[in-house]
Structure 1
């Protein structure tokens, strides 16, 4: 039986409980057995980290376990009777935002994890906390549906208090609306306890929480409307990671990523851009299974023949290769920058899975935020709160598409000095000279 596949990213401030919740979901859906969880619990207790053991199902590195912080974007799989899911567990610490962007760029839906514990919600939501930046980055990267789970409702400072839940929801809603989410159609709020598992798989018991009568998290995800997939479009797959094929008898390179459009079949040929390298798809792996084909929306690992270290950026159809440019025009919205921005400004751009240093080659037009009309004259500078059409120049050839043609390959984030400065979308590709 075919099950639709959904990519879910857990985002939110550090210590909100993302990894613990993810680990508990893996346990409750049978993807991690009881014996393994008991082993994690014993090891965590020996390190005086007893409350962290659930997160160890996702945080597998020694550094992550010792510090209790997710560093890389964790990945795991689970399935219900209705659907298959990939969990992308994004790091919450501000030092690891680039890794978080890599995870959220592959997601279909975001789960924003909020701690209801007294003081923790305020720390995460106030300036300097990652709740705001993560929500903005999710929207920028095209994740248009968000479930906001108010976690740690069983904490002694909360005790499933409706007043505390309502306080969190009332503070978050205006901010998320300002980020671009429609509260009526794009947002869903629910109380949970990631540690005890309350309201994750089964609805929370009435004697625990008498005022909530909505679905559990997994019930909600299973009942979500089917997602639109570009099955019949040309193949486009941004490559997130690569490694040498692990078996001696299997030569080649293994790459991972989410198929944004089209499909792949074992034995077929594809093109790696920007290097124009023709490859053969020697093997396809979804979760732990070897399969003969995969389609748009699937998170896959592909074994490629005919390419070594150049396997980066985009895997695409030889008939419809991804565009390669050194400059392009884009609509840019300045979110947060203390100074004015002029032509010549440099920043780091995150676009699909690529990270590239860029320079603003020229400021072309200001965009009126109310009417969307553009100015005839180029502005001398742009500042926080303004929108502009700009020309962006990259340091190396880069695979991008216009936002209208491929939204996932045409939206980007600019970061500078450890924070998100601007978001943008590609409006016009400029031919390489």
Structure 2
């Protein structure tokens, strides 16, 4: 790992990723809190969350574009666009004109721009590090992503409490400006491209490859597994949508930031713990893990002491981090190489759609039925996933990854 950081291009890319992730976390927190403080409506926070998350469903479409663009210009341009874009919100607040519509418009545009950044950074890694360093490089990037989310979710909540969401947008704009300066001097070698490959082939083939991936998945155990991914996404993002309201009712912006930090920390801890748990049968991880997560979440929303609630939130989301990591590793291990890209695209598309749906659903349910219903409902979601893993005729027998017989599960 130390050798990686002796590479100046990798250092710039890594530092740029940290700053970019910090900016993403800050504008998400600022947007959700500002919308709720102006509207006092969970419906609008759910809508804001859905608009933040919706662009993620299009990330699989950006790969063919990123492969053909200059990575330096792509990284630099995306940061400059976001730097200017987020300034529209403080301007709207100062002029007291169209504040909520401006926030709701900026969110998806910034999100679409941002979905170009991560594939571009990932595409740069094989060009700047040695092949035997790729695992360490990706691990460093994954840790930076999760660690920064954890840190700046907490910091963002504290900053909102201290200086307010408008100043948070100004700080956010500065982070994108810093990232642009970092990327301005980066040098990434040009990717090799086959002379026989038409410039539009990747885009033109996408729909056909996606259909092939769907046909393959339908014959495997991945169908019920996708159900668990969808339930997990809906439960998690329904919660996030109503956290501004919950935070305001239980201490303010600091509580909001702490709960978001607990969510991020739990998923990060789960992802880091997954390699230590890969020898345990997957059906046990699902049934026991989600069940314990439901208990921890129920305790978290009932406990009145915020530090303890935050720890319990973290524990509740550890199983989600574990299962997400284990199941993606299972797909990578068992799906044939020539189908892996399209199968992964289908999985990310389906789970990506679940996130904005969950956010919108959480906001609507909290507005119509009540905030407590949604917060406690997450427990029901986690328990339902535990029961699903324990009762489904295929899932209840899934062994550890290394013991799976591909033929028995349709692979």
Q: Which interval holds the TM-score relative to the shorter structure?
A: under 0.3
Q: TM-score, normalized by length of structure 2? A: 0.26
Q: TM-score, normalized by length of structure 1? A: 0.25
Q: Which structure has the highest helix share of the two? A: 2
Bigger Rg, structure 1 or 2: 1
Q: Whose RCO is larger (CA < 8 A, sep 6+)?
A: 2
Q: Which structure has the highest strand share of the two? A: 1
